[in-house]
Structure 1
């Protein structure tokens, strides 16, 4: 089973591909769309690394005049996004592009740019993500950035598994040093973090149990078990997640 298909199955019960619960997603979208006076009455949104485009779909549903563009390299994720947009009657306001997030080109700026849990798409981590997103943002616009941080000092096995991060104050220092000002933020709770991991591993395991004759059955069940073990024994209580609404 390829990684993209596994991810789609694992996110079946948690279409927001980050440890952020529905109430927080709604608040963050509301803050992002509360643009300064003089901003466009029909805001344009861009999600760099959109996955199933769940953030954009919820934003479009909340703001009937908005339009959105989602960028991702995953064909299965974009197919799921198209199906969800059609089911919600939003296809006319959502454009999807299968291209690396760092290569998206559009001469027109966006009022809201999102990149939640997708800093890996830019090669250089947080700094590269801020730089890439900033090139697409209209003056006075909002960037919604979701990124991991260390809740407590990690061991070497955690860094090897998840990459290097700063703690929460250090993460904010990196953001402000790059010229951004937080105007809102959400630190994912233990409940949100655990719900995301239980949903990821549980959805994948449930698919495997529901398809015992599928050739990928055993592989999917093993991947769910391995992920759950890594989470519970390696990074639970060490890794956290923050989502920021930023302006320049």
Structure 2
């Protein structure tokens, strides 16, 4: 029988759940807090690291993070308490689809647009942008972190990605920004994750589990964990590396 302490560690070496460097995060927080947001809503927040940094930078702001993964929400609550932000933020374990949370001055949605729509991609991205338009206050800001194809993937690359990967699954960067404009936004800032940020994220995503596998080769969970991690790594290195990008769009609602 295995206990919680026997389990492979999970994401302990990641600061952000995505390819986002400290320097880029600092610039984004500075940009987002310039308008002095009073309320922050984080969709698919995970442990809400960027939201907590915004709250730390704006002492009068309050935040709500919404996610379905209890483990990540607990990590966020612990971090908030350690930083003296516990009274100013709520981590809610609930679905974001048709959420009644908001509107807020600042809405964060980092690689979580799927939480706002049940339709198939890339229509889900379009629907999510319209949902974000409803969730932001007039004069507010939205930060959308969203995948896009840096170039059209080959059949071989698609076959190496996740099950059911399809060339129509993501928009190109220009199409993504166009969709944001059509949903009622102006793109205040358009930036994309670098190759270095991707490598930091992908390596950090698996690093603690890889070390665990090296030191627990005969553990009852080792075979299952090894299969899963090897498949994840292969999906990146043989599939979407250099093909899938992440854009960070700072959006301003029109009107």
Specify the TM-score bucket, using the shorter chain as the normaliser: 0.7 to 0.9
**Residue aligning to 1:22:** 22
Q: For the structure 1 residues 101 and 207, does the alpha-carbon distance in structure 2 shift closer, same or farther, using more than 3 Å as the test? A: farther
CA distance in 2 between counterparts of 1:215 and 1:90 reads: 40
Q: Residue 37 of structure 2 contacts residue 140 of structure 2 at CA under 8 Å; is this kept in 1?
A: no
1:93-132 alignment runs, 5 A limit:
93-106=88-101, 109-121=103-115, 122-124=117-119, 125-132=124-131
SS of equivalent residue, structure 1 residue 20:
coil
**Residue aligning to 2:4:** none
Aligned residues: 235
CA distance in 1 between counterparts of 2:187 and 2:219 reads: 47
1:13-162 alignment runs, 5 A limit:
13-35=13-35, 43-106=38-101, 109-121=103-115, 122-124=117-119, 125-156=124-155, 157=158, 158=161, 160-161=164-165
Q: Does 1:189 align with 2:188?
A: no
Between stretches 120-129 and 14-23, larger displacement belongs to: 120-129
**Residue aligning to 2:5:** none
SS of equivalent residue, structure 1 residue 161:
coil
CA distance in 1 between counterparts of 2:216 and 2:79 reads: 23
Match of 2:181 among 176, 182, 191: 176
Unaligned runs of 5+ in 1: 1-7, 36-40
Q: CA deviation at 1:42?
A: 5.9
* TM-score (ref. length: structure 2): 0.85
**Residue aligning to 2:245:** 240
Q: CA deviation at 1:211?
A: 5.1
Q: CA deviation at 1:185?
A: 2.6
Between stretches 119-128 and 202-211, larger displacement belongs to: 202-211
Q: CA RMSD in A?
A: 2.1
CA distance in 1 between counterparts of 2:11 and 2:222 reads: 17
Post-superposition CA distance 1:125-158 (Å, at most 9, x none): 2112112222221110000000011111113424
* TM-score (ref. length: structure 1): 0.87
Post-superposition CA distance 1:10-65 (Å, at most 9, x none): 42211311111111112112212222xxxxx6610000100111111111122222
Unaligned runs of 5+ in 2: 1-7
SS of equivalent residue, structure 2 residue 187:
strand
SS of equivalent residue, structure 1 residue 50:
coil
Between stretches 63-72 and 128-137, larger displacement belongs to: 128-137
